[in-house]
Amino acid sequence: MAAFSAWFWNERFWLPHNVTWADLADPAPGVEYPKAGHLLAAFPLALAIFFVRILFERFIASPCARCLHIQPSVGRRAPPHAVLEKVFTSITKDPDSRRLVGLSKQLDWEVRKVQRWFRQRRNQDKPSMHTKFCESMWRFTFYLGIFTYGFRFLWQCPWMWDTRLCWYGYPHQVMTPGLYCYYVTELAFYWSLMFSQFTDIKRKDFLIMFIHHLATVSLISFSYVNNMARVGSLVMCVHDASDFLLEAGKLANYAKYQRLCDLLFIVFSAAFFITRLVIYPVWVLNSTIFESWAIVGPYPSWWLFNSLLLVLQLLHIFWFYLIARIAAKAMLRGKVSKDVRSDVESSSGDECDAQRPPAASSPSPTGQNGTSCHAAKDAGAQDLNGW
């Protein structure tokens, strides 16, 4: 174990030349440098965030959903049937025509009756619009809160206005309480998402999003351990700037406020482009690659950190391409096809119609049932939200 620890914490990988862990182990009185052990505080905080979320969804988000006429689903349940239930759970949730004919003969049912049972059984497992609204409201609240905190904190930090200060004196840079709070809260939130992903709405990209949360946790932890927290705080703030707009658009979609949904999608698209395709490369990558090279010089963890940030930029380009493509389809056709990564258990058309308030029953001029806004913004949800 000692040999593995010595290999993992190799100074020549983590730190610039002529700097050792011993140089950071005994700072001056009142000065604190980042240590890996500090990140352990994220685990109890993640559990606290998880329980706060449960209370928030029950006592705040759920009443808000009811005020907007978004009621919990009370759809018709499929009648219990041992044979069909075994087929549904063990073989297929959506049988083909051949299997439907075989089941109709076996049970002496009409094919349409068997089809109806499977449709009702699938809908029975689908989360209601109420559930999705509560999830998105929690994420919107957290993203807006953490962005507000991060922006106000960085506004007072000199390295926001002169990014070269991220590297002067590196790695002997003080970890202030405000920066530590920002880092640990972001880290704890993504740990909580890893916990809650197993109880949240299951989507087709479950594994991709799990890897995304793991990558986000790794990046935040990595930048903290080697004291790249100053530039890391800039990266987090840039990404937080559009995340709450994404969730706000979903809330408008679930509430059937189509015009607001479309407006929020436009604002989200503009914010995504400005922050991740302009500010991020011009402001952040320029500092991490060129300014740090000139002031500190490259070393192994520097290469790894910048490689990950460049991969992140490629993801930004890819996801904005998807957002722009969906937006173009919406403008050309007036609507778009169903989002390819929509919820596996997303609500059926019948359920949506049943929950629509009377005032919103008329078709939307820009799409059917708010599909365009929901599909376009969901495309951005797979991006590395925290990074």
Higher pLDDT, 127 or 151: 151
Task: Give the chain's mean pLDDT.
Answer: 84
Indicate the pLDDT class of residue 294, thresholds 50, 70 and 90.
very high
Name which of 230, 143, 238 is nearest 178 in CA terms.
Answer: 230
pLDDT average, residue stretch 150-171: 96
Give the domain ranges of the chain: 34-69+127-380, 82-124
The pLDDT value recorded for residue 336 is: 40
Instruction: Give the span between the Cα atoms of 262 and 334, in whole angstroms.
Output: 12
Say if residue 363's pLDDT is above 70. no
CATH 3.20.20.450 fits 82-124, yes or no: no
Task: Verify cis geometry, omega within 30 degrees of 0, for the bond prior to 44.
Answer: no
Say if residue 366's pLDDT is above 60. no
Contacts of 101-107 with C-beta under 8 Å, sequence gap 24+, read 107/83
Per the confidence metrics, is the pTM higher than 0.85?
no
- Enter the tokens of residue 330: 């919406």
Percent of the chain whose predicted confidence (pLDDT) is above 90: 58
Q: Write out the DSSP string of 331-343.
A: HHHSS-PPPTT-B
The pLDDT value recorded for residue 371 is: 41
Say if residue 368's pLDDT is above 80. no
First to last CA, the chain: 32
Contact call for residues 379 and 242 (beta carbons, < 8 A): no
How far, in Å, are 27, 28, 176, 233 from residue 180 at the CA level? 17, 18, 6, 10
The pLDDT value recorded for residue 75 is: 60
The pLDDT value recorded for residue 63 is: 96
Percent of the chain whose predicted confidence (pLDDT) is above 70: 83
Q: Which of 8-22, 72-86, 153-167, 323-337 has the lowest mean pLDDT?
A: 323-337
Q: Looking at 68-110, list the stretches that DSSP marks H as alpha helix, in order from N- to C-terminal side.
A: 82-90, 97-107
Q: Which of 57-61, 89-93, 259-263, 328-332 has the lowest mean pLDDT?
A: 328-332
At 112-138, the pLDDT tens digits run 999 988 888 888 777 788 989 999 999
The pLDDT value recorded for residue 137 is: 97
